[in-house]
Structure 1
Amino acid sequence: MVLSVLLAVAGAFCGVVPYFAVSRIIVLVCGRQYELAPIALWALAALLGYLGSTWFGTASTMLSHRSAFTILKNIRTELTEKLARVPMGYILDTPSGKFKTMLVDTVEKLELPLAHMIPELTANILVPIFMLAYLFVLDWRMALISLITVPIGLVCYMGMMKDYEARYNRVLDAGKNMDAAIVEYIGGIEVIKAFNQGTASYAKYSDAVKENEAAKATWFRQTNGFYIAGIAIMPSCLLGVLPLGAWLFQRGSITAPALITCMILALGLVSPLIQALRYTDSLAMVDSTVKEIAGLLEAEELHRPAQSVRLDNTNISLRDVSFGYGNQEVLHRVSFDVVPGGMTAIVGPSGSGKSTVARLIASFWEADNGAVELGGVDVRNIPLSQVMDTVAYVSQDNFLFHLTVKENIRLGRPDATDEEVFAAAKLASCHDFITALPKGYDTLVGDGGGSLSGGERQRIAIARAILKDSPVVVLDEATAFTDPENEAVIQASINRLVQGKTLIVIAHRLSTIVHADRIVVLDHGQVEALGTHEELLVSCPLYRELWNAHISAKDTGEEDAL
């Protein structure tokens, strides 16, 4: 970037040469000196100055673009790495459209100021400075009068800048909100069509579009008048240069060559300044963009050490864990031990905190108070990568990337061979349907796995967890919304997944956890009871109520099927 600026400065020097050369040619012609040699020499100087300005400017732009794209790559890399370090709650509370806007559009806005503004602004400021300095050498009076329109133009510019930041921030915010609304609208288009909700009736989307239009219209209306007046007035410096120059020439206070040179230089004095002022939007955009990027980069992270910790075992315990979303606490001093090498089920009414416990164990969040322990060590003292290697998390809505089936499974262990991927798929009961796909394991699954059924996506997610081969497996209602046929297949896949491992199950269907070694009953974010299925049916009214409701719903479903 420094070399780019130096080349831009060299280009600025070369850009002044044609003005001097043209003024010298006019002086020679006006002085009736028609010899070809000096005129050709100055013409050659003008050409070389123009070519030098073009060459240095092009080289400067190429280098600045190379530097700009490197900087943009580093920013995007740092942002994505940051997202991996922030709590999951931060990501879930932020619309995905805003992350897309920041990573793609917001960062891209820095390309213009980095690649163009820095070198070109340098040149556009240096050229008039060089010209003005030479004007003062020729005649200080002509130099001052050539600047007479600049203060008037700056007054217009100041009028344009009144409340500029607030108005421009409104434009930027409206654009970001519209992007987020568009992403949400497209993601929910199936629901919108199903309930006959067109664009006009989708209030959030239409309001965001209208606000974007209103913000830009207001910004242009309040800005363009001053801007047009400024760029119309500032170049009119000859209105002062010509009368004063003629008067000084008549009085013999200035020579004809000096007058001609002053007029030529005055013509080229203001244009670069106007070009520099056109970067006003870029300057305002840089400030808001940097603040927005800094807002994410400075977000609170999961504070974990870098060095791996020696763990004697993979036992998991919760010790007086409290946690809340924002100001609302949802877990209150939760304590229990997960059965090592066995099955621990967590049950409770909707909203009791079951999934929150699962995500705390997987280190998606950190406890506000108390501790989640892995191998007797607080997980906050264990590197996040080590926790991720130890705990496999399978939810009810596992996401599949727009990759092949094989690569989606291989995400569990990137260095796995094809044979290991096929073996994991067979254990997860998905080998048969995969081989029936048009390209088998090389079939693209579509965005979010959209080309597959819910049960097929679930089995691929289980295959991914089998390939990961972590000693602890967390199943967050993995069979909550599957049909009976798929549930049996998925349950068989899960049984193979958890052989010889510590299993934590967030149960929706209580019939799947009757053989659990320990069942934790949660209610309103607190542990209501602990025990086996038989013990809880006797000692815990809430569990008995949940069980009876499950049996009743199951019987009703079977009757409906008949």
Structure 2
Amino acid sequence: MENTKIESPIFRLREFAKPHRVSFIGSVLLAIIGVASGMIPYFAVANMVVKLIGGEKNISYYVFWCSLAAMGFILNTIFMNLSTTISHTATYATLEEIRLRLVSKLSRVPMGYIVETPSGKLKSIIVDQVESIESTLAHLIPEMTSNIFVPIAIVVYMFILDWRMALASFITLPIGFLCYKGMAKDYEERFRGFVAESKKMNNTVIEYVNGIEVIKAFNQSANSYEKYTDAVTGNAHYAVNWMKDCQVFMSMCFTIWPAVLVSVLPFGCYFYMKGSLTIPVFITIVILSLGIVEPILSAISFTDRIGQIRTVVGDVYKVLEAPELQRPIEEKSLNDLTIELKDVKFSYDKESQILNGINLRINPGTVTAFVGPSGSGKSTITKLIAGFWDVTEGSINIGNINIKEIPQKQLMKQMAYVSQDNYLFDDTIRENIRMGKVTATNDEIERAAKASGCHEFIMKLEKGYDTVVGGRGGHLSGGERQRIAIARAMLKDAPIVILDEATAYTDPENEAIIQESVGKLVANKTLIVIAHRLSTVIDSDKLVVVKNGKIVAEGTHKQLLSHCELYSSMWKAHIDAKDEA
């Protein structure tokens, strides 16, 4: 588990940025130099105004100060650009670190966490919310440095010229701050609400896209799909209502703050008429006071972003602090691959029991098939064996070693898992197969494809093995996707193979091809299979009948026909269905 004792989200963000602190410090130093350069034009203008009023007619004097002002602008541009470039480079390296840690974390949490967390929410955190950090982290350092130091330098100089006029320039600021306080009231809470609405919309959009086939089949549309409409409308209404609630304060705030001349001009005229303020100083302060407001407004805008950062970093750490599958690092000696489940109990939510007292022994090199009604717990057992979840009670051992004591990578090396809905990535067929063994050569990939019966249809494709299959393998049929998944498993060459209803959605022709491929895949290996057609597993060394989370019987096909009423009725139903077909 990612562990941190620092509670402040800003400090937590600093933890991610720590490896790049030299770059961020360099960015600050360059920004300070840029700010100092940016002050030169203000002082140049002030000096020229004073001399103009004093009647100075020496052209070289004005050329000098104009040149100095131009140099200040150029230096300011150069150093601020350098500062921003460095801060952006360091920021994107920081975002990369955050995203890598998030994805790494997801590989270590139980599958239950992935299943229970909407994919739209995870996508929003990893992509959208992490990206929102950029605008703050990359710009905060150079721009905030400028926004703080410019007003300070101007105010100090104004106090040197005339402390009364310096104070006069601040009169509108407290009023503006009061308006801003009203505008920013409950900002973090409202932003969290906005993020929640956005996540809800993300989840619904993903659900809508994934279910578009069903929606079209039943003559629905985006508008008539009520859940989608409600999510999109809810997101829009939340944003509009939030804006309405703070619009008055926002308008007052950004009207009052820039109005420094409302106080500077009357006081300046009064002091001038009293003879205590000279025209050169008066005009200089008027010019300088105009340079206070914009940096302050920019600085204030960052306080909103900091509020957003608190929410974003908080969401990031909710993922990073999620409970992990606890596994050791040191590998164990696995000479014996006997699998044994001892009094295994399991619950997804710690309330409803899915498995209750499972005891089973699976010998190496044998074929074990799980059969039983839908929802009886068959797939759950295989996923527990694969280590996707931890058992609630009891233990699962491989060679008398609890799988909790086996490093996750070592455990995964022992197993190849082929499910009924194998995921293919939006990549080439070659790279999808290569996932079974990342160091595999092209020849090894093609041998696995030939053995799994998919080489022939691959070569008929326009680009062969370099064909991009599309998201989830959508450009291929179910049988073709399944054969590629089996090729991937063959390439892995693991001693334990788990097939979770691998032929559930295939036609008889494809099923025959897949069955032949499976025969090659599992030669001299331990095979654990869940099958929806009993005829495909009757030759298994052991059939395990599961009902309501319990093993009710185990044995060969013949033994179960004579001793297990449930299996006998399932077999009869299977034969009757074949006869009707």
TM-score, structure 2 normalization? 0.93
The answer to whether the 8 A contact 1:393-1:473 is kept is: yes
SS in 2 for 1:413: coil
Residue equivalent to 2:500: 476
Q: Which residue of 2 aligns with 1:342?
A: 366
* Alignment pair present for 1:275 and 2:298: yes
Pair 1:399-2:423 in alignment: yes
Aligned partners of 1:392 and 1:470 also within 8 Å: yes
- CA drift of 1:37 comes to 2.4
Shift of 1:280: 3.6
Q: Name the SS of the counterpart of 1:537 in structure 2.
A: helix
Aligned to 1:191: 214
* Cα separation, 1, equivalents of 2:187 and 2:98: 27
Q: Output the CA distance in 1 between the equivalents of 2:427 and 2:270.
A: 78
Contact 1:320–1:332 (CA under 8 A) maintained in structure 2: yes
CA deviation map 1:145-182 (0-9, x unaligned)? 11000000001001001122222222222122212211
Which residue identity lines up with residue 206 of structure 1 in the other structure?
A: T
The reply to whether residue 377 of structure 1 matches residue 396 of structure 2 is no
Distance 2:260 2:119 in 1: 52
Q: Give per-residue Cα distances to partners, 1:34-53, cap 9 Å, x unaligned.
A: 11222222222222222222
The CA distance in 2 between the partners of 1:230 and 1:408, in whole Å, is: 56
Kindly state the Cα deviation for residue 481 of structure 1 after the two structures are TM-superposed. Answer: 2.1
Aligned match for 1:514, one of 517, 535, 538: 538
Match of 1:429 in 2: 453
- For the pair 1:414 / 2:417, whether they are aligned, the reply is no
Per-residue deviation at 1:362?
1.0
Q: 1:495 aligns with which of 519, 527, 544?
A: 519
Task: Report deviation, 1:407.
Answer: 1.6
Q: Superposed, which structure 2 residues align to 1:314-393 within 5 Å?
A: 314-326=337-349, 327-393=351-417
Give the unaligned 5+ runs of structure 2. 1-23
Q: Residue 232 of structure 2 is aligned with which of 209, 224, 233?
A: 209
Aligned residue in 2 for 1:19: 42
Alignment check: 8 A CA contact 1:168 1:219 kept: no
CA distance in 1, matches of 2:535, 2:482: 19
Offset at 1:95? 2.3
SS in 1 for 2:529: strand
Q: Distance in 2 between matches of 1:224 and 1:272?
A: 22
Query: Which amino acid in the other structure matches residue 385 of structure 1?
Result: K
- Output the CA distance in 2 between the equivalents of 1:555 and 1:121: 78
Which deviations, in whole Å up to 9, do the C-alpha atoms of 1:85-111 show, x marking residues without a partner? 111121122222222222221111111
Contact 2:544 2:553 (C-alpha < 8 Å) held by counterparts:
yes
Contact 1:400 1:445 in 2 (8 A): yes
Structure 2: distance between partners of 1:268 and 1:494: 76
Q: Deviations over 1:94-131 (max 9, x none)?
A: 22222222222111111100111232112101111111
For the residues of structure 1 that align with 2:106 and 2:556, how far apart are their CA atoms?
Answer: 39
- Does the CA contact (< 8 Å) of 2:425 and 2:472 recur in 1? yes
Q: Name the aligned partner's letter for residue 416 of structure 1.
A: A
State the aligned residue count: 557
Residue type at the aligned position of 2:219: N
- Residues of 1 paired with 2:396 and 2:226: CA distance? 43
CA contact (8 A) 1:160 1:226 kept: yes
CA contact (8 A) 1:156 1:230 kept: yes
Q: Distance in 2 between matches of 1:212 and 1:372?
A: 46
Q: Which residue of 1 aligns with 2:473?
A: 449
Alpha-carbon offset, residue 359 of structure 1: 0.6
Could you tell me how far apart the structure 2 residues matched to 1:353 and 1:12 are? 67
Q: Say what the alpha-carbon RMSD is for the aligned residues.
A: 1.4
SS of the aligned residue for 2:344 comes to strand
- Cα distance, 1:252 vs. partner? 3.0
Tell me whether 1:165 sits opposite 2:165 in the alignment.
no
Contact persistence 2:355–2:377 (CA under 8 A):
yes
**Displacement, 1:299?**
1.1
Matched-pair contact (CA < 8 Å) for 2:183–2:249: yes
Please give the alpha-carbon distance, in whole angstroms, between the structure 2 residues aligned to 1:410 and 1:482: 24
Q: Does the CA contact (< 8 Å) of 2:337 and 2:363 recur in 1?
A: no
Residue segments in structure 1 that go unaligned for 5+ positions in a row: 558-562
Could you tell me which amino acid in structure 2 is paired with residue 556 of structure 1? E
SS at 1:207's partner residue?
helix
Find 1:181's aligned residue among 189, 195, 204. 204
1:393-432 per-position Cα deviation (integer Å, ceiling 9, x unaligned): 0111111112222221111111111111111111111121
**Aligned equivalents of 1:115 and 1:392: distance in 2?**
44
Once the two structures are overlaid, the 10-residue window that deviates more, 242-251 or 528-537, is 242-251
Give 3-state SS (helix, strand or coil) of 2:387's partner.
coil
Cα deviation for residue 339 of structure 1 reads 2.2
| Distance in 1, Cα, partners of 2:207 & 2:493 | 35
Amino acid at match of 1:300: P
Q: Which residue of 2 aligns with 1:528?
A: 552
- Choose from 172, 175, 180 the match for 1:152: 175
Q: Matches of residues 42-191 of structure 1 in structure 2 within 5 Å?
A: 42-191=65-214
- 1:537 matched to 2:558: no
Once residues 307 and 180 of structure 2 are traced to their aligned partners in structure 1, the CA distance between those partners, rounded to angstroms, is 14
Aligned ranges 1:193-272 → 2 under 5 Å: 193-272=216-295
Deviations 1:234-264 (A, max 9, x none): 1111121122222222333233333232222
Q: Which secondary structure state, in structure 1, belongs to the residue aligned with residue 389 of structure 2?
A: coil
Once residues 352 and 159 of structure 2 are traced to their aligned partners in structure 1, the CA distance between those partners, rounded to angstroms, is 69
User: Following TM superposition, by how much is the alpha carbon of 1:556 offset from its aligned partner in structure 2, in angstroms?
Assistant: 1.6
- The answer (yes or no) to whether the contact 1:304–1:382 under 8 Å persists in 2 is yes
Residues 279-306 of structure 1, C-alpha deviations (whole Å, 9 max, x = no match)? 2432222111111111111111111112
The aligned residue for residue 560 of structure 1 is none
| 2:188–2:308 contact (8 Å) kept in structure 1 | no
Match of 2:205, as an amino acid? I
- Supply the distance in 1 between the matched residues of 2:82 and 2:579 (Cα, whole angstroms): 77
Aligned partners of 2:463, 2:281: CA distance in 1, in Å?
Answer: 80
Classify the secondary structure of the residue corresponding to 1:325.
coil
Answer with 414-423 or 91-100: which moved more.
91-100
The letter of the residue matching 2:462 is P
Q: Distance in 1 between matches of 2:270 and 2:442?
A: 89
Deviation string for 1:357-383 (max 9, x for gaps)?
Answer: 111111111111111112221111111
Structure 1 stretch displaced more, 217-226 or 150-159: 217-226
* Kept after mapping to 1: 8 A contact 2:169/2:261: yes
When structure 1 is superposed on structure 2, of 145-154 and 316-325 the one drifting more is 316-325
| Cα contact 1:339–1:518 (8 A) shared by 2 | no
Deviation at 1:437, TM superposition (A): 1.7
Question: 2: distance between equivalents of 1:513 and 1:494?
Answer: 12
Q: Is the contact between residue 19 and residue 265 of structure 1 (CA under 8 Å) also seen in structure 2? A: yes
Task: Return the letter of the residue paired with 1:329.
Answer: Q
Contact 2:501 2:529 in 1 (8 A): yes
Correspondences of 1:302-313 after superposition (within 5 Å): 302-313=325-336
How far the C-alpha of 1:553 sits from its partner, in A, is: 1.6
For residues 526 and 6 of structure 1, what CA distance do their matches in structure 2 show?
Answer: 68
Are the aligned partners of 1:339 and 1:517 in contact in 2 as well (CA < 8 Å)?
no
